[in-house]
Amino acid sequence: MAIKKSDNIFLQPTFIKQLLKKCSSLGKKQKPNSNEPGLPTDVPKGHFAVYVGKERTRHVVPISFLNYPEFLRLLQRAEEEFGFNYDMGLTIPCEGTVFESLTSVIRIL
């Protein structure tokens, strides 16, 4: 089943802005002596962290993955399962091996 661009909420600028706000760091560096929790210093600019599967394995992926309908479908599943009100980071509900296979293919494209 093909995803039509006009029907896909995940390709709309509003959704992408909301997603990027939820991906807390997006390359921000935590200031020394800062009391801001949850801003990882190991996420390079242009990337965001996601947590995958029941084990919540952490992966840092490039923002360019948002250009791929397959990755956006994973985000849609995450939104359906968890919503956008979460404290534990963006969690993607799929098996770790499936996620790693998908991201390997995307990196090649």
More confident position, 87 or 20: 87
**b/e per residue, 64-102, with b = 16+ CB within 10 A?**
ebbeeeebbebbbebbeeeeeeeeebbebeeeeeebeeb
Residue 26 has pLDDT above 50, yes or no: no
The phi and psi torsions of 60 (rounded to 5 degrees) equal: -105, 120
3 vs 39: CA distance, rounded Å = 33
3-state secondary structure of 85: coil
Q: What is the pLDDT of residues 43-82, one digit of tens each?
A: 899 999 999 998 999 999 999 999 999 999 999 998 888 8
Q: What percent of the chain has pLDDT over 70?
A: 60
Strand ranges, E, within 14-101: 47-52, 57-62, 91-92
63 vs 49: CA distance, rounded Å = 10
- Domain range list for the chain: 5-108
